Structure 1
Amino acid sequence: MTDLINVENLTFVNRRKKARLFSSAKNFELGPINFSLKAGETLAIVGANGSGKSLLAKLLVGLEKPASGHISLNGDVLTKFNQRQRCFNVRMIFQNSNESLNPGITLGGILDEPLRLNTDLNLLQRAAKIEQTLQQVGLMPEHQFFYRHMLSDGQRQRVALARALILNPQVLVADEPFAALDPSVRSQIVNLLMNIQRDLGLGFIFISHNLGIVRHISDKIIVMKGGKIIEAGKTEVIFNWPKEEYTQKLVHTHQALINRQVT
């Protein structure tokens, strides 16, 4: 099967303009990053805060420009000349759904904006697409008339997912999408995502600290530390036979937490 997305030798340098108090100015260097993803696969990216996970997500969706390397989608290299292709096909679910939704616009308005700006659909066609997408994520058509403050945390996350899906993408990039949800709602959203992925054949790139969810939904894992990939492989291989000391610590900490919960 052909790779859906392919990342080759991707690098980025975040240059600090000023030194912080009691510390010198240091550049953060990401990469080189290499990985591939097929349709229907889930890749999890794990690592401590500051390892470069969220920065990599921004590079994938075009919010940051790499210093070198490239990202290919269906074999075509994504550049500034085909940003429209990236906009349609690589969509992001942000970490905090509450902050990413405009409180002064109805949900219908939030979902209509990407359709209005990026498609030739007329008003009736856009309205039909909005209703279809709301139902796809487990909401009712009537929710299009709601505002952000009228929704629960779980419903807000469903709206964030709907906004990511509205342009029929091929890849979803999710940066800690479940961090603010309580366990029962989290389970519902995880199952929803897995069902949507199965139905649509989406590629899913999932950034998380929650290794329980990572093990449950991912096909393969990248472990990052200090802007570098220190280990990568199939999920069960990483969990059962981690090679790097850092990965071993992550897995052992996760297993110890599970053991405490069981006892």
Structure 2
Amino acid sequence: MSSLLEVKDLSYCAKSRGTLFKREQSFKLEPINFELQSGETMAIIGDNGSGKSTVAKLLVGAAMPDSGSIILNGETMQPGNIKQRCLKIRMVFQHSQSSLNPGLTLGALLDEPLKLNTEYDGYERRRIIEETLVKVGLMAEHAHFYAHMLSEGQKQRVAVARALILNPEVIVADEPFAALDPSVRSQTVNLLVKLQQDLGVGFIFISHNLGIVRHISDRILVMRHGKVIEAGKTDVIFNWPKHDYTKKLIYAYQSLSKR
């Protein structure tokens, strides 16, 4: 069976300019390789600065790789073809509040990607917007609301709706639950699990929360200093970690979960 998503030898190097008081800094993402099947969730874990978010940016086209390829359903994603990437791979951001324009209604927010990327008329776009809002556990009437009228959990559902609105094949979620309290976080996790079961999309889930990672992921990539140091099925990584760094992460999680 062919993979939904194939990442081959993807590499990236970024440099920040130095100043009088700060040295020039650079980050290098070593060539990485992985595959994602339809309906599968792959989690990427590691410390801050390990390269997790850089991988997310490369996948959605927010950054251009220095080399390597991203292949979706056998089709190579062209680095300069933003529309192609926008239709196929969508992102859910960590801070839903800052990613929602406060001056637009939710309907207008969700209408933007449809206007830019489809040929649907106004009636069809409204139908898709209302159906998508219901799909993420909101009401069709929420299309007339503004972001400030929503709870944090509802804002995150809108962020999920915006990712789903173009019917993508892969969703990249970069720490989507970090700003949510535990009860709302649990509801949002269950929502994503249900959406994946219903829609069959592939999920790439970036998180520090190993409890959620263990609950929702099928496979795990462990990253450190821009490298994938270990990869495997979730139960194997948690029960039989090989790399010392992975063992440190897993043992720290197990110690906390026993308290």
Q: What TM-score bracket applies, with the shorter chain setting the length?
A: over 0.9
Q: Which residue of 2 aligns with 1:255?
A: 254
CA deviations on 1:16-53 (whole Å, 9 max, x unpaired) are: 221574x6423210021110000000000000011111
In structure 2, the CA distance between the partners of 1:252 and 1:14, relative to structure 1 (3 Å rule), is: same
- The code of the aligned residue for 1:151 comes to L
Q: TM-score, normalised by structure 2?
A: 0.98
Q: Which residue of 1 aligns with 2:17?
A: 17
Query: Is 1:151 paired with 2:150?
Result: yes
Contact 1:115 1:167 in 2 (8 A): yes
In structure 2, the CA distance between the partners of 1:67 and 1:152, relative to structure 1 (3 Å rule), is: same
CA deviations on 1:144-163 (whole Å, 9 max, x unpaired) are: 11101000000000000000
Taking the aligned partners of 2:42 and 2:197, their CA distance within structure 1 comes to 15
Q: Which residue of 2 aligns with 1:194?
A: 193
Contact 2:96 2:155 in 1 (8 A): yes
Taking the aligned partners of 1:176 and 1:80, their CA distance within structure 2 comes to 24
Taking the aligned partners of 2:110 and 2:16, their CA distance within structure 1 comes to 36
Q: Which residue of 1 aligns with 2:55?
A: 56
Q: Which residue of 2 aligns with 1:83?
A: 82
- TM-aligned CA deviation for residue 81 of structure 1: 5.3
RMSD: 1.1
3-state DSSP class of the match of 2:16? coil
Runs (4+) of structure 1 exceeding 2 A deviation are 23-26, 80-85
Taking the aligned partners of 2:240 and 2:20, their CA distance within structure 1 comes to 40
3-state DSSP class of the match of 1:172? strand
- Higher mean displacement: 135-144 or 26-35: 26-35
Q: Percent identity of the aligned residues?
A: 61
Q: TM-score, normalised by structure 1?
A: 0.96
Long gaps (5+) in structure 2: none
- The code of the aligned residue for 1:253 comes to A
Taking the aligned partners of 1:213 and 1:141, their CA distance within structure 2 comes to 29
Q: Which residue of 2 aligns with 1:5?
A: 5
- TM-aligned CA deviation for residue 197 of structure 1: 0.3
Q: Which residue of 1 aligns with 2:164?
A: 165
Taking the aligned partners of 1:138 and 1:51, their CA distance within structure 2 comes to 34
In structure 2, the CA distance between the partners of 1:122 and 1:98, relative to structure 1 (3 Å rule), is: same
